[in-house]
């Protein structure tokens, strides 16, 4: 059975206002030893003093093993995590984190077109840095409400020169998604992170164009309200441990496994982060996550236990 990811302590060694409503945190080991390695697109779980756990993409340099950096947007109507980060955390404070882990890795094949909306620039910035390091062809379209609200502009322009287009909506309007699709049709791999309306629009347009395989997304929230507990009862067979667990209506597979005494690694529990991804050995999953692509869903060989269920009476999992 998979174990819960182990948390470790870091210290806030940098805290900076990056844009209107956006701060960055630099995190280092208290003894300044090297931190776990990570790759562009990765994120960490931040375990806040209140007990809340929130996921934030890493926007620093993977080559720098001494520090991690995240950017946090203050969301007035959020669930409280960003308010705590902005209002309660202080320079020098010690926190616990889990990770890093990556469900949004940069593929080996370019050329790349990066499309960022708002705070979605955080994983994209690390990807642009990695693409530059590889010597790959890349461009970045960075949209936001206004320049005042868009973090890391100077850093991005220093990194990319003319390859970075800063596109504030109050100056130039919305991003040209038809041009994004045309770039994909011409051979570019598109990586995008940002608000749900942007990602939903890209998903629809790429689907219409038959270019789903060239679109790679990272969502900060589920594409639709999570309905993981709905559905008929089902029986989950655990291939490695040899047990069986009954999952009743109104209960998620993850909750049923935990109630039966099985430890299951998880983080967001909304089908976004990928931490609870599990191999399916038999049965047909009913995918309700916001992470797997349509081709990955069609294979039916993995699923997210926190929200997904089954289209068959039983599922056999590699647990």
Say if residues 245 and 258 touch (Cβ distance below 8 Å). no
Tell me if residue 80 falls in helix, strand or coil.
Answer: coil
CA–CA–CA angle 172, 176, 180 (5° rounding):
145
pLDDT at position 76: 82
Question: In the structure encoding, which two tokens stand for residue 252, read together?
Answer: 């998620």
Cβ neighbours around 106 below 10 Å, total: 25
Question: In the structure encoding, which two tokens stand for residue 170, read together?
Answer: 């109050």
Q: Which helix (H) or strand (E) holds 177?
A: helix 177-185
**pLDDT per position as a tens digit, 107-153:** 998 999 999 999 999 999 999 999 999 999 999 999 999 999 999 99
pTM of the entire predicted model: 0.79
pLDDT at position 270: 79
CA–CA–CA angle 90, 119, 126 (5° rounding):
90
Strands 285-286 and 244-247: unpaired
In order of their start, the domains of the chain are 8-101 (2.40.30.10), 112-218 (3.40.50.80), 234-317 (3.10.20.30)
CA–CA–CA angle 187, 193, 197 (5° rounding):
100
| Regions in the chain scoring below 50 on pLDDT | 1-3, 226-228
pLDDT at position 3: 42
pLDDT at position 65: 96
Cβ neighbours around 74 below 10 Å, total: 15
Report the distance separating Cα 297 and Cα 272, nearest Å: 14
pLDDT at position 256: 87
């Amino acid at each position: 059975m998979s174990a819960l990811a182990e948390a470790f302590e870091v210290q806030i060694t940098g805290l900076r206002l990056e844009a209107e409503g956006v701060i960055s945190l630099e995190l280092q080991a208290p003894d300044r030893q090297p931190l776990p390695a990570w790759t562009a697109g990765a994120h960490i779980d931040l375990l806040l003093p209140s007990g809340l756990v929130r996921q934030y993409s890493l926007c620093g340099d993977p080559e720098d093993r001494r520090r991690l950096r995240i950017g946090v947007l203050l969301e007035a109507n959020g669930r409280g995590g960003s308010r705590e980060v902005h209002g309660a955390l202080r320079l020098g404070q010690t926190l616990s984190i889990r990770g890093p882990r990556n469900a949004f890795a940069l593929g080996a094949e370019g050329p790349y077109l990066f499309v960022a909306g708002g705070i979605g620039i955080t994983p994209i910035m690390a990807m642009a840095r990695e693409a530059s390091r590889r010597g790959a062809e890349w461009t970045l379209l960075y949209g936001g409400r206004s320049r005042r609200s868009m973090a890391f502009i100077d850093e991005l322009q220093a990194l990319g020169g003319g390859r970075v287009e800063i596109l504030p909506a109050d100056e130039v309007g919305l991003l040209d998604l038809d041009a994004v699709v045309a770039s994909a049709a011409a051979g570019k791999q598109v990586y995008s992170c940002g608000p749900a309306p942007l990602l939903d629009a890209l998903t629809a347009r790429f689907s219409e164009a038959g270019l789903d395989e060239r679109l790679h997304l990272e969502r900060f929230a589920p594409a639709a309200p999570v309905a993981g507990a709905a559905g008929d009862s089902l029986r989950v067979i655990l291939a490695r441990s040899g047990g069986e667990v009954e999952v009743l209506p109104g209960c998620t597979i993850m909750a049923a496994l935990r109630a039966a005494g099985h430890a299951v690694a998880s983080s967001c529990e909304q089908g976004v982060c990928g931490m609870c991804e599990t191999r399916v050995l038999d049965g047909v999953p009913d995918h309700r996550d916001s992470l797997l692509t349509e081709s990955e869903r069609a294979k039916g060989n993995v699923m997210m236990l926190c929200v997904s269920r089954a289209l068959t009476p039983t599922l056999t999992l590699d647990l």
